[in-house]
Structure 1
């Protein structure tokens, strides 16, 4: 017996303890220590130290647990947990006294430490793996028909297999238990096979058959597949006196005029009491947020002809003059109350040739949205009050509107066409609460749970099991289908980007408007006017009390200082206005907070102009009557008592707390609501109840003809004073859901037709050209040493092709246009690209022409004609970026002038640069961002010089 074995035996019989072996777990985070005896009662994690290590040192023992013994006569085992795994070096486990740091008193000094390695379970070439077991005995593979895919083939396959494995079972009657089990398994196999085929089919756009699958596929390709759109139509309401319809209290219906004849205003209870079926009429709701005020004076508004001089409003016109009148004897109040943003109907009411109503052309009706309303008078007709109205170019008249004509026997026919107010846009769709209907409730199911036994010290199970969610909070999105269809798909009413752009334009005009106001007050004070309290308060609000404190004592000098130091006194306010304008140019609609800020820092009128709910911001009437189905979203609103859930096209931009959902239309017309997963969009609380308020009615069913809407229906009030309700033009814009074949054809090519990100210089140039006011744009990418900079040059439109007397009036882009392009490109620029927007680099030219004139022409006249021809040749709207100037084109333009016998160039070069070989080559090249300039202005010769020498002639 060796000495080591003898000491171990003596140690076991002496009652002292020691470390026999250390086993490392697979994750190298726990050590199983085998002791010689029983575990001391005071032994804890602080009694163990792990020493050694090269790269990983100072490993700490964080926990200790006793594992007991597997057999009564075997040694104890303990488990130590360390804070991190060690490296490949050898470590030493030491048992010490926690108080003194010396050897533990219960452990033998020789066996109080042991060497081990954390990598003892790692594969190594020193230990041989056991030989793998021999291959299993080969068994004959059963013959299985893998082409079985449906119920019948699965059933026959299993019956054939059972005939081989259980030949004594021959029962084939349906009531038999074996046959029942076979058919049950065949049914499950058929369902599983169908699901596998469906998953494989719906995984690709070319093979997908379900509408929701196709919608999700093309969304990844940035193709906005639409589910239809509700139609829109203008409705004119003729009233007696003044009628006010409350918000959300009235609707328009297209009901047969013979039903409830003579009643133009109804209540919902009238439709229920008379048992009028809902499928016999269509419902239209007004597209206005506030109350609707109708006035009798707006029923019929004559168009002023200026004493018969204006007989026709030409096609393409954007303005008209309305005949107004005084509402009181003192001639202080006007009768008409039209405002910018109101809708106006221009309509032919009499036949121009006969003067009869029956001969009026119903196609000559158009609704426009007013952009400005200016009162005026006609002094030649006893100061007849008038109203000058204009509308946007998008609403320009599509036909000539006749105002007066000559009828039979040359009799004058007046008021052939009229204007009408009291017009409101209406959209197809009825609420589910129509005629005593109820809102739909959606019950969110409880989250399923499962009963589990929590672990106890890593072993066993507690006596009291607990219930935990069967799936984590972030899981499969909740989906539910609405009961009624078709759900109304409502297109965007008022383009947010255009609203923000108009707000930016208004903000940028604020300084000039205030300056003009101060200039007008200065002129009045100069003429002896004393500022009133209201005017002083207005100036104090804008400039503050300090600059205005001496206005009562010395008003003229105070006004002069306010006018001369305008930019300095309002430096902070002007900077804030520019910052808000830049934010709006980036597409952010300024909310009520920004409006209140402008009202408090400038005045209430300027703040009111910025309010996003202004009717003027809704855009032209023609655009509103042509809704874009791709912007349509289901008109569904969900409430859960505290929050409101709104629809979105997708949830990619939604946060985990955003109350958004997506409406997906199924093949049978059912609308499914899909909620978020806790990452993109919030999830409804399990067990909660959502109340759905939505509208039904969609597609081409709402495209009714003219004069189809006949009634207004109120819910809670009686609308008296309504004489007639009609839609003067047909409803349009109603679109059925996009067919799948069309989506498959268009979606793959859609990314090539819409530019969503600027990558190469051509992308920057194309996007800059989309900004109004930019004729052409060019761009180039320049390496700055650290990153790329996109340099964009602008070529704006000039005022007139042949304006002025110089050869070419070079158009420089304004600062406002440069800022607009820069803000527009920021939304599309590639990450990592700097952006520099500026005017084109103008290259002034120095050109000299020799002209030989025919003998029968006056030389000075021909010279002037050649100068005009060169002016047209070098006009800014004709030349663009990088366009080279060819000598042959110049000579051809000069030779085309009548009286020119011959022409040739004697100087052809860039100004202020030494001549090159341009004249010899007949070509003057230009760079990508360069534009040729030749103004020939004697006061500014640095902008190009043209010299025309003439010989011959008279």
Structure 2
């Protein structure tokens, strides 16, 4: 009779049980003993009947003392009742045997072997060794290592056949043996090509595919510059008495020497078009004329002194001087100059972009065009000139006029809209097999990813002919103009509905890697397209289902999709490890823009035509300035030259003091940094400090930021301490002679502004003018005071440095500072210990 299945017998009753396995806690002092029959269902009740003396834990291979037991518990773990054994300390690395001597425990399953180190990593392979087999008979073959193409491999195979089977002499092409040899030679040719490709792409100096070169460059934190599209402005001329809104994304074109017009779209990019932004224009804002407050004084006869400009003016009334930020235009136009531009910074005011255009009648004088962002509009009157209506417009200081402007030939144009090179393209596609009832969409290319997950790839149509538009100023940091929406088919409305937006990432892996559930995607270089088509009889594929990806069964052909060399951009989704893989049948809509490079930098006055249907309320338009910012993608030769140099130039480790100084000065707020190693016991500790911009002391939050920043660079075992910089606080007593005709109080106020600054300009003692080791030059200080209007001379200068020397005359050419000191004269009444200046004014009125 066959032996019984003891496990089945135990499972069929509730009186007895056996030991199943031991789960060792991470602390290794808690053992959860699982039973073959759940103690909770045993009858009579089994929990609580086991005593510590009935349990024995001993070493499996040595005759040691039994392991002590502290307590027994009966908790519920994962729905089953277990016996929890608590021991005072972890066991060793050898195996142990746990046994229970109890009448309710089957003697056959009353003990088991376990290890306290079950949760520890082990380099040992638990798989038993396979049986040793005798070596196969060696076949001596004269291998021709230079044979790597079809004909070379075919010849090598034929030579081998002649040596191995001398009786086979048939060499006809139709012979089965020759056919098999040629098939093997063709496969060998393919394999050699693949090996060569892998070898070439695995090296930075020989990689030919852009995606390989990009991955190599990222190993040294170098991002390839993909170029950028140009941007500019359009000045719109609205038909008289009309107005309207120009939608973002409206296309205009400029002629090109290649015959293909250069396309631009109104707006700052794809985001404006997707948000449905409108740019209002009005005929009332087409153009304004400046208001000239006074006529120019006549020129003085030869040999006589020229006119003295009243009110401190140094230019004629008809001239808008360089550095101006305001202008008066004739008439009241507050209703026409509406501030509709919303800035990116919520704290910044609303504005309106306007054009200052100067077209002098004399062709020898320069034509000027300057764009400003008006932030204030006020209607006023000229009480002297019959209460003439005027409107004052003020723009941001960042757009202060770079040159003098002749108001006589100035025209202000108020209908300015931004433009960006490129055209919007929209495409819908599906990842995998769509659900029943959904309209059929193009499918992604599918490739097997890790752990059997399908990787979905979709090439953006048209990207192989025109580059994907990218926006940005800094090389390597441009952002592609791509938006990806997840769709759902809505049967009642008979249309697709957007349900989510997926986010682009420069790379799914890195410092801020995508999580498994993140709806992220990235862009790969190259395109996936049909590479090989095999001709077959159509009947051979009748009724066959496509296993996945784009349609592969064409009329009489089997199509294979693969990555092709050259330009192009492909969307790549995650695989549930870095980035979520889209579910089978998920539909997407992708909006992206194509065009970019140097070719989008066009001259002024060239963008004058609509790309599509014109807008009726627009009489005309032009670009007053050349479009700028367009640049081509970085060449592979430039990447190979710069990436290693950048890796050696910008380091992310610090060893010597100079490394810490360079790392600290990478912070935007650091003007200069210092670092010194000191022995503080058994090791070296680094003491670092920084001279902050716009501060005369190191605030605690900036000190904490510097410490966290340098902690990323330090070596293991090196401590870093951030200390405040050492300031050389200086007091000055300066005697100033005031010129005749000037009030002492006025001159003193202007001297204080020259020394300590004002709202508009920094002063001589501005914290940014002094750093570690920078001396205080007396000649520069005297020249600063002497340049103030009303100062005749600096008569005397006394100096005192607190804690070093008392008041004395400043006779030397400069006040020195040590390499780790910063001269400070704060002039703050709340902190006189940080240095102050006493001004003694003599003479004047």
Q: Among residues 480, 484, 492, which one is paired with 1:637 in the alignment?
A: 484
Are the aligned partners of 1:366 and 1:397 in contact in 2 as well (CA < 8 Å)? yes
From the superposition, tell whether residues 892 and 668 of structure 1 become closer, same or farther in structure 2 (CA, over 3 Å).
Answer: closer
CA RMSD of aligned residues (A): 5.7
In the alignment, structure 1 residue 426 sits paired with structure 2 residue 419: yes
Q: Given the alignment, which residue of 749, 761, 773 partners 1:883?
A: 773
Tell me if 1:842 matches 2:733.
no
Q: Does 1:720 align with 2:616?
A: yes
Match of 1:661 in 2: 521
How far apart, in 2, do the equivalents of 1:892 and 1:688 lie? 71
Question: Against the structure 1 CA distance between its residues 220 and 304, is the aligned structure 2 distance closer, same or farther, given a 3 Å change threshold?
Answer: farther
> What displacement does 1:910 show?
4.3
Aligned residue number for residue 319 of structure 2: 312
Among candidates 912, 923, 931, match of residue 803 of structure 2: 912
- Residue 482 of structure 1: how far off its partner (Å): 1.9
The number of equivalent residue pairs is 627
Structure 2 SS opposite 1:190: helix
Task: Specify which of 398, 401, 406 is matched with residue 402 of structure 1.
Answer: 406
Find the aligned partners of 2:592 and 2:462 in 1 and give their Cα distance: 9
Structure 1 residues 568-620: Cα deviation after superposition (integer angstroms, max 9, x where no partner): xxxxxxxxxxxxxxxxxxxxxxxxxxxxxxxxxxxxxxxxxxxxxxxxxxxxx
Identify the structure with the greater strand proportion.
2
| Alpha-carbon distance in 2 for matches of 1:746, 1:688 | 42
Aligned pair in 2 of structure 1 residues 189, 690: CA closer, same or farther (>3 Å)? farther
Q: 1:926 aligns with which of 806, 814, 818?
A: 818
Q: Quick check: 1:679 aligned with 2:577?
A: yes
Residue 344 of structure 1, CA deviation: 0.9
- Which one of the candidate residues 701, 708, 711 is aligned to 1:830? 711
Q: For residue 348 of structure 1, what is the aligned residue in structure 2? A: 358
Question: Please, what TM-score do these two structures have when normalized by structure 2?
Answer: 0.60
SS at match of 1:637: strand
Q: Deviations over 1:856-877 (max 9, x none)?
A: xxxxxxxx9xx99xx9999556
- 1:182 and 1:297 map into 2 onto residues whose CA distance is 84
Change (3 A) 1:60 1:665: closer
Q: Which residue of 2 aligns with 1:211?
A: 210
Task: Give 1:203-352 correspondences, 5 Å limit.
Answer: 203-239=202-238, 240-245=240-245, 247-248=247-248, 250-254=250-254, 279=260, 282-287=263-268, 288=272, 290-308=277-295, 309-325=316-332, 334-338=335-339, 340-351=350-361
How far does the alpha carbon of each residue in 1:356-386 deviate from its partner, in whole angstroms, 9 at most, with x for none? xxx4978522222234444444333334343
Cα distance in 2 for partners of 1:38, 1:343 equals: 89
Q: Are the counterparts in 1 of residues 249 and 265 from structure 2 also a CA contact under 8 Å? A: no
Query: Which one scores higher on RCO, CA 8 angstroms, separation ≥ 6?
Result: 1
Q: How does 1:376-525 map to 2 (within 5 A)?
A: 376-404=380-408, 416-432=409-425, 439-445=426-432, 475=453, 477-485=455-463, 486-487=465-466, 489-492=468-471
Report the TM-score when normalising by structure 1.
0.54
Q: Is the 8 A contact 1:320 1:388 kept in 2?
A: yes
Deviations, residues 206-243 of structure 1 (Å, cap 9, x unaligned): 22111111122223333231323222221111112242
User: Does the Cα contact within 8 Å between 1:242 and 1:293 map onto a contact in 2?
Assistant: no
Distance 1:241 1:788 in 2: 72
Map 1:430-829 → 2, pairs under 5 A: 430-432=423-425, 439-445=426-432, 475=453, 477-485=455-463, 486-487=465-466, 489-492=468-471, 630-641=477-488, 642-652=499-509, 653=512, 654-666=514-526, 668-712=566-610, 719-751=615-647, 761-763=660-662, 765-768=664-667, 770-771=668-669, 776-780=671-675, 791-794=689-692, 796=694, 812=696, 828=709
Tell me the secondary structure at the aligned position of residue 567 of structure 2: coil
Listed one character per residue, the Cα deviations across residues 686-739 of structure 1 (whole Å, up to 9, x for unaligned) are: 333333332222223323332222234677xx8333221211222222222221
Q: SS at the partner of 1:426?
A: strand
Equivalent residue of 2:522, what SS?
strand
Partner-residue secondary structure (3-state), 2:566: coil
Q: Distance in 2 between matches of 1:295 and 1:709?
A: 20
Preserved contact between residue 794 and residue 840 of structure 1 (Cα < 8 Å): no
Q: By how many angstroms is 1:835 displaced?
A: 11
Structure of larger gyration radius? 1
Instruction: Give deviations 1:465-496, integer Å, cap 9, x for gaps.
Output: xxxx9866674743222221345544447xxx
Distance of 2:175 and 2:288 partners within structure 1: 88
**In the alignment, what sits opposite 1:174?**
173
Segments of 5+ residues of structure 2 without an aligned counterpart are 23-27, 38-82, 86-90, 116-127, 296-315, 341-349, 435-446, 489-498, 527-564, 735-747, 757-762, 787-794, 841-845
Measure, in 2, the Cα distance between the counterparts of 1:380 and 1:904.
49
Tell me if structure 2 keeps the 8 A contact 1:791–1:835.
Answer: no
CA contact (8 A) 1:474 1:677 kept: no
Higher mean C-alpha deviation, range 650-659 or range 225-234: 650-659
Give the match for residue 835 of structure 2.
943
Deviation at 1:781, TM superposition (A): 7.5
Measure how far apart 1:669 and its partner are: 2.1
Q: Which runs of 5+ in 1 are unaligned?
A: 1-14, 16-34, 65-81, 105-111, 120-128, 257-276, 327-332, 354-358, 405-415, 433-438, 448-468, 494-625, 797-810, 850-863, 949-954
Alpha carbons 1:660, 1:681 under 8 Å: kept: yes
Task: For 1:51 and 1:719, locate their aligned partners in 2 and report how far apart those are by CA, in whole Å.
Answer: 80
Does the CA-based 8 Å contact 1:777-1:794 persist in structure 2? yes
Describe the superposition over 1:27-67 as per-residue Cα deviations: whole angstroms up to 9, x where unpaired. xxxxxxxx998869744695546999xx9998957449xxx
Distance across 2 between alignment mates of 1:371 and 1:823: 38
Report the alpha carbon displacement of residue 421 of structure 1 after superposing the two structures with TM: 0.9
- 2:516–2:580 CA contact under 8 A, matched in 1: yes
Following the alignment from structure 1 to structure 2, what is the Cα–Cα distance between the partners of residues 228 and 90?
66
Cα contact 2:235–2:417 (8 A) shared by 1: yes
Match of 2:125 in 1: none
